[in-house]
Every structure is written in C-alpha cells, then in structure tokens.
A and B are shown apart, each in its own frame.
Chain A
C-alpha cells in the first residue's frame, strides 16, 4: 500500500459544470476525511466517513456538494453546478479512529473553475 491516492491531481472546469474527485485511502483505515484548502489557509474540514457511514458534514459543505464511500473503501466527492468560489485544493485523508492517531493525506486535487 503506497498511501492515500487522489485522482485527478488537477481539474479545470467551466462554471456550472459538475466535477467528481476520487480518493483511495490506506486500506486498513476505516476513517476517511475530506478537506478543502485555499491559498494561504490551512485545511478546512468538509466531511468524514467511518467505514461507509458519513458521520459529520461541515457547514462549508453546501447542498451542491455530495460525498460517498460505498463499501467503506474509496470515496468520491462531487460538486454540482461549480462556481468560481469552489476553486481550491481538495484534500483527502485517512486514519484509524481515536484522538492520538495521525491522519495520512493524499496530494490533493486542485480544482480551477473558469
């Protein structure tokens, strides 16, 4: 296992189009997180899964955003009707549950909405 993998690495889309990103976590990890990072800011929490259950969603996650984790393995994040304000780096991380265990991050998907 080579770590958390995200695809695509870069995505340019026109405003109003839908986009979908994929994250493949470390296989033993049952937690999976999605974060958004804009220039000069730290990662902002969007949502997380424990196995296939989506347990929490941030207020940042508008109704245009949806995430799934079928079978508790890979996850997808879809943004519908993209807006220029959605341009950001979307980060996926995975971990075991618990307070002391680190999150392992993928390299992210950079979205540019033109």
Chain B
C-alpha cells in the first residue's frame, strides 16, 4: 500500500540555519504530495503542495520539489526562525480504489534555537 517515510527527529538548528527534512514515498498511482505543519497546541495545517512531477511547492520561505524519479519530496528552507519550531508531516494523496485518502508520515519535530 501507499506509505510515506520521513527522517527521524528532532532536528535542532540555530536561527538562520539551512533546513532540510527528507521525505520519500511509495504509491501505487500518481499521487499529489503535501507538507503539513503542526504548531504546539494547534491542528495540522497545509504548508505547501505539489501535484505533478517537477512541480515546486512553496510557502513562507519553505520549498519542496516533486521528484518522481527518486520518489521524494524533501522540505527545505534557507534560513529558519524560532517561530518555525513545529512538527512537520509529509503526506500523499493517491487513488487506490478511487479514494484519495491522505496518508501521512510520522512527522519530524523541528526545534530552532535563538
């Protein structure tokens, strides 16, 4: 079945450091890919998405490129801030059986120190 694998956390960085969170996926179809973020005490919210190969999703300085050849969707940010501290979830939406049910990775916690 479909699955998403993320790098284990926590990822601990100093402010203004470069961030990469790795995500790879397995899917039976041609999925859409998403990054969601969960700030402390809040629900998951969409950060960015990409719907076809080589698409780049971007938002709030974060970027991720849909790489079909490597089945990856790594999240990057050039300069993180303390306010980026949160848990980041990679997800896909595929259509086994026609459902398009979002499938999530286990999440990667990011801690940014001043």
Contacts and interface: CB of A to CB of B under 8 A. Distances in A.
B32 A41 contact: no
Interface in A78-113: 91, 93, 97-100, 102-108
Nearest to B47: A102
Given A48-B99, A56-B99, A99-B93, A43 B51 contact: no
B102 A103 contact: yes
Given A99-B93, A99-B94, A45 B103 contact: yes
A56 B46 CA distance: 23
Interface residues of B, number: 28
Interface stretch (B14-22, B68-76, B78-86, B104-112): B104-112
A4 interface: yes
Contacts of B95: 99
Nearest to B6: A42
A55 B42 CA distance: 28
B71 to A, nearest CB: 16
Given A100-B32, A102-B34, A107-B42, A41 B100 contact: no
B108 to A, nearest CB: 10
A109 B101 CA distance: 21
Contacts of B100: 97-99
A88 B41 CA distance: 15
Interface string B9-49: 00000000000000000000001101010000111111001
Contacts of A108: 43
29 contacts: A4-B43, A33-B101, A33-B102, A40-B106, A41-B106, A42-B91, A42-B104, A42-B105, A43-B104, A48-B101, A56-B97, A56-B99, A56-B101, A91-B43, A93-B102, A97-B100, A98-B100, A99-B32, A99-B51, A99-B93, A99-B94, A99-B95, A100-B32, A100-B51, A102-B49, A103-B46, A105-B45, A107-B41, A107-B43
Given A91-B43, A99-B93, 4 more contacts: A33-B102, A97-B100, A99-B32, A99-B94
Interface of A: 4, 33, 35, 40-45, 48, 55-56, 91, 93, 97-100, 102-108
